[in-house]
Structure 1
Amino acid sequence: MKQFIKKIREDTKLQEIISYLFFGGMTTLVNFVVFFIARNLFGWNLVISNTLSWIFSVLFAFATNKKWVFKSKTTDLTQTLAELGKFFFYRIVSFGIDMGCMLFFIDGLNMGDFWAKFITQVIIVIANYVFSKFLIFTKKNS
């Protein structure tokens, strides 16, 4: 076990993946909580509930990805705004994937809300890692 912990401390790529999974899990939790509050407590429809959950989770994800996962060191406003713009652009792409999956699973396959949301979020976490790692928080932005 000590060797495993030592390996994690020395391997920055492994630290990044673990951090991304942790904060991705926290982002998913934000997404789930907001979605089910909107859907079940307020009785809002699927599209409004999913959109609201997306907005809250994107704001949370940007802050955590920038600071703790990819440790972006943007130094000026132009660089920061470029990251923010790319982040929101690719999150809109993933929102389209999210909404398409939710509608397909719930309306097309008659799947329950929970399992549809769960499967969709696994897909989204993977897509967002690829977008963030290779297209948003790149070393050339630092």
Structure 2
Amino acid sequence: MKRYLKFVDYLKEKNLWEIFVYLFFGGLTTVVNIVVFALFHEGLKWGWPTSNAISWVASVLFAFVTNKIWVFHSKTETFGELLIEFSKFLVARIVSFGLDMGSMYVLIDLLTIGNFIAKLITQVLVVVANYVFSKVFIFKKVRVHEEKE
């Protein structure tokens, strides 16, 4: 436990804790995506497009909850604020899905890079894009100004 706390303190001191937690939950999001895909595609024998769509929805929902609560510590006061925040998150994830598909097309079909290498490259782009979208546009820290008496 001491090593863990020392590790956390070090990352916080270097302003890397948020990125570490984001990457940790991003890894779990990837696991959710793969497990749900396998459940529907291999387990239930559904087609890959349907299985992939369901796994994307499950992973986006998982990512929203984990990013909101544990990564960015976002607080919303009303259901409307939550809905706006989720809508922004969803739009950003759709944009990054487009980035993923577009990058894959360019790398595989136009530049003839292998599928696996292309997927690794695009995942780096997508992770960075999703972090920036989440940090800058979605889970903005709300600053509370206290009035001085």
**Alignment TM-score > 0.5, same fold:** yes
Q: Which deviates more, 132-141 or 65-74?
A: 132-141
Q: CA deviation at 1:56?
A: 2.1
- Tell me the matched-pair count: 140
Q: Which residue of 1 aligns with 2:114?
A: 111
Give distance in 1, aligned partners of 2:82 and 2:53. Answer: 25
Q: Which has the higher helix share?
A: 1
Identity %: 49
Residues 3-22 of structure 1 mapped to structure 2, 5 A cutoff: 4-5=6-7, 7-8=9-10, 10-11=12-13, 13-22=15-24
On the 8 A contact 2:104/2:122 being kept in 1, the answer is yes
5+ long unaligned stretches in structure 1: none
Q: Which residue of 1 aligns with 2:75?
A: 73
Give distance in 1, aligned partners of 2:40 and 2:107. Answer: 19
Match of 2:31 among 29, 32, 40: 29
Q: Deviations over 1:46-93 (max 9, x none)?
A: x55543432222111001001110011111111111101100011110
Question: SS state of the match for residue 16, structure 2?
Answer: helix
The verdict on how the C-alpha distance between 1:110 and 1:35 changes in structure 2, with shifts beyond 3 A counting, is farther
The verdict on how the C-alpha distance between 1:77 and 1:139 changes in structure 2, with shifts beyond 3 A counting, is same
Q: Which residue of 2 aligns with 1:124?
A: 126
Q: Which residue of 2 aligns with 1:90?
A: 92
TM-align CA RMSD? 3.2
* TM-score relative to the length of structure 1: 0.76
On the 8 A contact 2:8/2:17 being kept in 1, the answer is no
Q: CA deviation at 1:4?
A: 4.8
On the 8 A contact 2:37/2:51 being kept in 1, the answer is yes
Q: CA deviation at 1:27?
A: 1.4
On the 8 A contact 2:18/2:72 being kept in 1, the answer is yes
5+ long unaligned stretches in structure 2: 145-149
